[in-house]
Amino acid sequence: MFTKTQILLNAVKILNKFLSLLVLIRYGKLPIDIRYYYRHTMACQLGQLKYFWKDYISKPSYKNLAFQGEFAPELQFALPFAYWHYKNGTLKSTRSSKFTKEMYFFSENHQEVFDTRTNEGNYNFEMPRILYSQNYDMKKWLPVPLKAQYKNDIYVYDKPILILANRYNMEWDGPPISYYSIELIDYILSQLKDKYTVIYNRPRPQNITMDNSDIYDLNEFDWLQKEHPEVILMEDLFVENKAGANNFNHLQMMVYANALHFISIHGGTAALASYFGGVNLVLSKKGPEHHFKCFQKLYPKFSGAKVLHATTDAEVKEFIKTYYM
């Protein structure tokens, strides 16, 4: 006799084989590391069928959403999914990593229970989407109004704010690929610092919840203070903390909420910047986002921001000339 658990596991295996066959028939010419994202999306969509009655008919407060994945997919899919349930009247609780309470400001029962983010946590098949998707005709997904929630009268300057959000991390278990080098930062600042109040943001490990990507030292902070002392460091604003931010994420959202110009990097850095409207230039040199056109189809949905995707340093310079000068 099979137990209920064994029966369920066997059913899941059969379903995955069936979905893999469908993907192979339709997308067989694509690389295998791209194809399985199509299968994941199909599995997520099928999984939502079991909640149809609760989500659309009876609408009890039932949904307990837990997410331990990386920062980018949390912003892309988990947070808007939770907000949809909140607006639908079906959200019961949310659980996530440290420093996320302010992101889930709408959740009356939010717990910060995870000390680290994991790649395995990205694969939460209880959501309508995980990671990438073959389409962005989104259901059970609503943009979260972080800008309206955190706009303030504290971080206001004579010139409009420009957020230069960088990262210098391990990527795909190798060295950094998408980042603003000191040479490129120097070009950006030389062109734009007279027109904008530039705030440079590259969070250090102690200020964020770490995932499986090591953070390296670009050695740009001392260089910035020497060569471009006009530039404000986000970490200095956190030390000063005039707004009484509860954590670094909270501060980022308050500063970003007062800005309309962003220059950011592939990953959670770009996703967060896209939540605050205006224009966001994203440097992304590699990733499944290119195939699935995330920067064209998904990122503008967060706030209506105009998202520009550069794949090279030269394209960054061209976008700056066209949209920022």
pLDDT score recorded for residue 32: 84
Residues 6+ apart with CB under 8 A from 268: 70, 71, 72, 74, 75
In the block, which residue shows the tokens 């309309």? 260
Q: How many Å apart are CA 148 and CA 309, to the nearest integer?
A: 25
Using CA atoms, how far residue 200 sits from 108, 140, 226, in Å, is: 33, 34, 14
- Using a 10 angstrom Cβ sphere, with 0-12 exposed, 13-18 middle and 19 or more buried, the burial of residue 240 is exposed
- Structural domain boundaries in the chain: 4-144, 148-323
Assess contact for 213 and 169: CB atoms under 8 A.
yes
Element (H, E) at 63: strand 63-66
How far from the centroid of its chain's Cα atoms is residue 299's Cα? 9
pLDDT score recorded for residue 84: 98
pLDDT score recorded for residue 50: 94
- 218-234 exposure pattern, b = at least 16 Cβ within 10 A, e = fewer: bebeeebeeebeebbeb
Mean pLDDT by 10 residues, the chain (325 residues): 59 74 83 86 90 96 96 96 98 96 98 92 91 82 98 97 93 85 96 97 75 77 95 96 96 98 96 98 95 94 98 97 95
Assess contact for 203 and 237: CB atoms under 8 A.
no
- The model's pTM: 0.92
SS3 state of residue 38: helix
Cα–Cα nearest to 189, from 7, 62, 324, 315 = 324
Q: Answer whether CATH 3.40.50.300 is correct for domain 148-323.
A: no
